[in-house]
Chains A and B, each alone.
Chain A
Amino acid sequence: MTVKRTRAATITLSVASLIAVGSLAPHVGGASTAPSTTVVASVPASVATQDQRGEPIELGLTPLLLIGPAVTGAGERPEFSWEPVAGAATYSLAILTAADEPLWAWEGAGTTVILGGWATTPIPAAPGPLLTADAKWFVVAFDAQGLPIANSVMRPIAP
């Protein structure tokens, strides 16, 4: 078990990590008044050191931990990734502009996807959606029956 001191943000935990430590951490975003110490048992160190910044989406579901990209400097065609959730069959990713327009969405079994759905990062001149201004994104995990079982915060992102 690892104990990590954070800033104001709280690190959310995947189901696997919760089971591993036998405890339940709060699922809140960076703007909250979260406790300054959080258990981050099986979360990779590279993830644990990131802020889980964003607005909480309160549905009473298990927290889903976003990994990347960074909140700023993400580039025009970022790769989105998140921690797998135990029992999840599929995930949905939605990216919205600051004006609440759907920039792009994706559904699939993976936990990593490049904006636009490219298998590998294409040449800059490739067509498709680009992150050219401030936006936000969130991920939901669904079980095999299609029921949502976990969700992330709504995280801001900028190119």
Chain B
Amino acid sequence: MRRGVWASALLGLVTVIVPAPGAGAAFPATVPVPPDASPAFPPGTWKGTAVAKGSISGHGASAFWAAPTVMTFEFDVAPDGAVTNGIWSWAGPIASAAEGVEGNFDMSGSGTLGGTGARVELSGIVHMSGSVTVQGNVYPVENDSPAAGGFSPTTVHCAVVSGDMATEGQQAQTDAGMATSVTAPFMAQRIAGPGQGTVPGFEETYVELVMTVENLLATGQPAAADVVALAERAEAFYQEVFASAGCPDAPTNLMPGKQPYGYFIELISQILITALADPSGYTADDIHALAMAAARIGAVGPSAPDPELAAQVRTVLFDAVESKLADAQAEQDKDACTIVFLTATAMGFTELVGPAQACAGG
């Protein structure tokens, strides 16, 4: 019985990337297929990378990626939108646990891709190799399971497409009553043709940036300089990739004037909302740096792709600047008042500009 629960949890984790038919009652074998509508990968050849991480739990069992797992894929999108010549692969460690049961596995998967640019469909095999310990008894596990499922882009540009491969798996797990924190953000770059290269270091840089932003989010109150550096690096990386392909006539779902760094904007926004809930951990200089980074990456202002999230970030920034103004006024710290004034001016916090300028002696 316990082994059955554990097996369900483990296979459910796998469905995040490759929903496996027959994975058990806790995890639906079929995933609802969204309508074939935009956004979609535009016609061309695409090469991408996803980073899977997180865990699921429920029904007395849990499973998690023991380390971030990198998935790579490449496919063509024909002019009619059909995906052809697609391949995918991934490998990584997974751990599972239930009462009296522990499992550790090396898992790998590979297969082909089909479907359409709006929903890329996976098929293939997932291999699981490892052991499970049940009440002190160790059992070796070697197993092949069929892989199926799909993913859709959320942000589409002629040169770059991004999204989250875990979206469908998350929905299936939630519907099955499981708690899930699994995400698998991906970024794909248009390449010249099958087998051609991406910009140098594409996969390594993307994986490193994803892990950096995840680690900063987990920190709670990361150093302001680290957040600023991440925003700058994400911007530089995207722009290098964007500049690598000349395709001005390809379709895009990016609204003009909006920043394209969707995943990084979302997570940096979450970092700011969490970190600035208690601004006492930051100096006025820190708040200024964070505010400038927020405006730069598109976490606030009219270039933010998510106005609701941007409004939340603006609120925490305003409260943080107001807090620093009160501190500076109380301490009669003119340098801090000057920084607060500059931050308030740059962010358009007009209510704070006058008091900050008076405090600064300007």
Which residues of A are at the interface with B, using a C-beta cutoff of 8 A? 57-60, 92, 94, 96-97, 99-107, 116-120, 122-130, 132, 138, 140, 146-148, 151, 154
Residues of B within 8 A of A122 (CB): 239, 242-243
B98: min CB distance to chain A, Å? 46
State the main secondary structure of chain B at its contact with A.
helix
A105 x B348 contact (CB < 8 A): no
State the CA gap A127–B338 with chains docked (Å). 34
Tell which of A58, A129, A154 touches B303, judged by Cβ atoms closer than 8 Å. Answer: A129
Q: Give chain A residues whose Cβ lies under 8 Å from the Cβ of B296.
A: 104-107, 117
- State A104–B158 Cα separation when bound (angstroms): 23
A selection of 8 A-B contacts at a CB cut-off of 8 Å is: A102-B300, A103-B302, A104-B303, A105-B296, A117-B236, A123-B246, A128-B258, A148-B339
- Interface positions, chain B 274-293, Cβ under 8 Å from A, are 285, 288-289, 291-293
Instruction: Identify A58's interface contact among B236, B300, B362, CB under 8 A.
Output: B362
Chain A residues with CB below 8 A from B257, complex form: 128-130, 132
User: Are B289 and A101 closer than 8 Å at their CB atoms?
Assistant: no
- Tell me how many residue pairs across A and B have CB atoms closer than 8 Å: 114
CA distance A26 to B298 in the complex (A): 36
Which B residues are closer than 8 A to A by beta carbons? 157-158, 228, 235-236, 239, 242-243, 246, 248, 252, 254, 256-260, 285, 288-289, 291-296, 298, 300-303, 335, 338-339, 341-342, 345-348, 350, 357, 360-362
Partner of A128, one of B303, B341, B360: B303
Query: Top 3 A-B pairs ranked by shortest CB distance?
Result: A100-B348, A94-B346, A105-B295
Contacts A117-B235, A127-B259 given: A147-B298 contact, CB under 8 Å? Answer: no
Which one, B236, B293, B335, B342, contacts A140 given CB within 8 A?
B342
Contacts of B360 in A (CB 8 A): 59
Known contacts A107-B228, A107-B289, A127-B254: does B341 contact A102 (CB below 8 Å)?
no
Q: Which residue of A lies closest to B256 (CB)?
A: A130
A83 to B258, CA, bound (A): 29
Q: Are B301 and A103 in contact (CB under 8 A)?
A: yes
Query: In the complex, are the beta carbons of B246 and A92 less than 8 A apart?
Result: no
**Known interface pairs A102-B300, A104-B301, A105-B296; A57-B345 also in contact (CB < 8 Å):** yes
